[in-house]
Amino acid sequence: MDKSKIPTAQRAALSLLLDDHRNVKKLFKSFESAKERSEKEQIAQQTCHELTVHAQIEEEIFYPGLRGVHEKIDEMLDEAKVEHQVAKDLIAAIEGDLSGEMLEANYKVLSEYVNHHVQEEENELFKMVISKNVELGEMAEQMTARKEELMGAMA
């Protein structure tokens, strides 16, 4: 999704989420190209941390702020909630055994799963939010503050 095409009233909130999506996609690519096991473990740990923060921001602020706007959005939010739980289970498996033999398999499934979720969010949910002209200004401030708080707490 091209940030410049997002209406100003929605740009800050959606850009924060889009930036997270891009960052995690870069981590997925870095993991694939990493040669050393220790590097893969570090990238996996960073990915899990960033996805955990991102999901928490969406679940605490973004998704609740969209509830009730439109029936189709509510359906997408229900699906996203399930997708987040599956991602959390994979994150727990990765973090629980970073040096284990299932790291690469779990990480691969996580990356595929998250890429699917991101695509749906950007191509369906975000576009619906834009088309319904949902006001996100205050939400953007809350999301930014919460992200800073969580990144510091989980570091």
The pLDDT value recorded for residue 155 is 56
- Tokens 């990765």 sit on residue: 94
**pLDDT at residue 3, rounded to an integer:** 85
Distance in angstroms (rounded) separating the CA atoms of residues 91 and 37: 18
pLDDT tens, residue by residue, 78-100 = 999 999 999 999 999 999 999 99
Spell out the domains of the chain, with CATH numbers in brackets.
3-154 (1.20.120)
Judged on CB neighbours under 10 Å (0-12, 13-18, 19+), 48 is: buried
* Residue 72 contacts residue 128 (beta carbons within 8 Å): yes
| Burial (CB count within 10 angstroms: exposed 0-12, middle 13-18, buried 19+), residue 104 | middle
Encode pLDDT of 4-34 as tens digits: 889 988 999 999 999 999 999 999 999 999 9
pTM value? 0.93
